[in-house]
Amino acid sequence: MAAPNGLARIETHGRTKQHVNGVCHDDSAAPVRAQTIDELHSLQRKWSAPTTPIKDGAASPFAAALSEEERHRQQLQSISASLASLTRETGPKVVKGDPARKGEAAAKGAPQTPQKHHQHHHPAAPTIAVSDSSLKFTHVLYNLSPAELYEQAIKYEKGSFITSTGALATLSGAKTGRSPRDKRVVKDEAAAQELWWGKGSPNIEMDEHTFLTNRERAVDYLNSLDKVFVNDQFLNWDPENRIKVRIISARAYHSLFMHNMCIRPTDEEMESFGTPDFTIYNAGQFPCNRYTHYMTSSTSVDINLARREMVILGTQYAGEMKKGLFGVMHYLMPKRGILSLHSGCNMGKDGDVALFFGLSGTGKTTLSTDHNRLLIGDDEHCWSDNGVSNIEGGCYAKCIDLSQEKEPDIWNAIKFGTVLENVVFDEHTREVDYTDKSVTENTRAAYPIEYIPNAKIPCVGPHPKNVILLACDAFGVLPPVSKLNLAQTMYHFISGYTALVAGTEDGIKEPQATFSACFGAAFIMLHPTKYAAMLAEKMQKYGATGWLVNTGWSGGRYGVGKRIRLPYTRKIIDAIHSGELLTANYKKTEVFGLEIPTAIDGVPSEILDPISTWTDKAAYKETLLRLAGLFKKNFEVFASYKIGDDSSLTDEILAAGPSF
């Protein structure tokens, strides 16, 4: 149905809760209320990249001694091959540069000869003769700088504006969060054996034929455009294990987003980039065919691990690219014996590294951001025999209710080069109102990690000393801190527990337990026990200690007790970093069997054992048993899961759970 102005309506109807098999996802969001592009744009306005510095970066292992002319030819040939549809004999004739700019230059009689005087210059395109050929001449805007991408976005993409701090504000369209129900993975013979399928898994199957159908639809759409944006970048700061990725997209916003979120190559690395290890075809402005097999809506996010490709149709939310690549790393890295982790990571002045795991609302970002420690990364990491390394080149921070007082580092990072998604700003001053949820509650900022003052560049560190599992227990029965043995660490890592409270989502009146395996079930590819076993192996090999830290309630459940004060939690984290808790005296709790310290400097001793903070001891015991039952029920799917030749989890891990 058409809108009054003749534009097609935006589909905005759908589920307001984004859960897959009971798993909570922190960046999924309900579609916006706007029915047309103009309405969405009106919500956005209120009336009234630097190159990553890689020190001593190793050259690509695929680099070869080629002439500049040959490298340029191979680069264009590689991009052309990426854009070639499978059922077409040849790909498009690829030229570099902005077609609009070339046209302007030609009109002015400017010379069309390429020059080589600065880093981001793109060779001029030859004159193109108009013909009736069905082949489209596609201009490739290759690894543009942030300034160039700003120009493209503001000139050609409605809803793109420069805010008062210099960030680029943009709109992601009707979808303002991920669409986990529309994500598909090709279930070929290898994937059927290797990947996690079934209850609790985020992997929804599709076949090879359907993937190729969607791939051709996406590639044909990209080939129909006057220009496409191509990013060639890296994942993983460990030079021995980095992955080359190519992102082909139709929007400058998407190109700038990935410029920030992936690792930016140097000039030399760009010249010798070669063929990518993984390619994304982002045709998000174009819908999939809803009548295609396996499709349930006009949105489809498809991954083919054998082809090392990802196709995006029907959603312009940039986070699909970030999290899609994270899923790919969850598949590729374990094959090399490297553990991929959904965690924050920081390092002390003495080189002690800590990993922070936690779902939304547990304080992962707040606690891993410490002015006394260096930030290695805020979200995605690898743990190899070389140590820990950040997968990404940037940060993707939530902006809702952002303030300079509470999050000064994020606040100050929102400047030129940063992408602001779906925020609302004053039409005249361009000042952003971070409390305004008119477009979505899932407003986001994507910026290079070097925008954080205490970021460690390169983003690598030694082996972690501490593995901290964060839970916001709204039932109020978990201790503020517990020291875990290896089996307990595996149990709680696989469980991935936190609790939603009233106000977090519509319809929640009392605490609701949420479990997300490995603290990131939406992104893992293999069975959770695989990652847990690797985590235990590395912790044991390198001497790391596991901790369970409750940032939730004490003295009663939500609505009765009080949330544990942040200064106390920070004291607990400081005591973990300093090693104070390694020499503390401990006692064991009932039911969960957790080891809790009897005293921590700067923390009231009475809150360390949760039962002592409850006035109604019977209510405490009843609530404790209720939560323990929820843990046991959640773990049933893992206890009975068969993978390869293994029949089940070991009795040791099962025994590490609650007992009653």
Catalytically active residues, by annotation:
178, 323, 342, 360, 364-365, 379, 444
Q: Are 32 and 40 in contact (CB under 8 A)?
A: yes
Q: Are 210 and 352 in contact (CB under 8 A)?
A: no
| Burial class (CB within 10 angstroms; exposed 0-12, middle 13-18, buried 19+) of 565 | middle
Can you tell me the distance from the alpha carbon of 110 to that of 292, in angstroms, rounded to the nearest whole number? 48
Residue 384 Cα to chain centre, angstroms: 20
Can you tell me the distance from the alpha carbon of 572 to that of 580, in angstroms, rounded to the nearest whole number? 9
> Which residues have C-beta within 8 Å of that of residue 199, sequence separation ≥ 6?
21, 637
Can you tell me the distance from the alpha carbon of 312 to that of 301, in angstroms, rounded to the nearest whole number? 5
| Residues facing residue 421 across a β-bridge | 170, 444
HSE-up of residue 657 (Cα within 13 Å, Cβ side):
25
Q: Are 186 and 328 in contact (CB under 8 A)?
A: no
Can you tell me the distance from the alpha carbon of 100 to that of 113, in angstroms, rounded to the nearest whole number? 17
> Which residues have C-beta within 8 Å of that of residue 120, sequence separation ≥ 6?
143, 144, 145, 148
What are the tokens at 571? 């004291």
What are the tokens at 107? 């009109």
Q: Are 73 and 463 in contact (CB under 8 A)?
A: no
Name the DSSP class of 439.
Answer: S
What 3-state class would DSSP assign to 514?
strand
Q: Write a three-state SS string for 100-123.
A: HHHHHHHHCCCCCCCCCCCCCCCC
Can you tell me the distance from the alpha carbon of 184 to that of 303, in angstroms, rounded to the nearest whole number? 6
Residue 595 Cα to chain centre, angstroms: 33
| Strands 227-235 and 138-142, sheet pairing | parallel
> Which residues have C-beta within 8 Å of that of residue 15, sequence separation ≥ 6?
30, 181
Can you tell me the distance from the alpha carbon of 100 to that of 583, in angstroms, rounded to the nearest whole number? 67
Residue carrying structure tokens 């070929």: 188
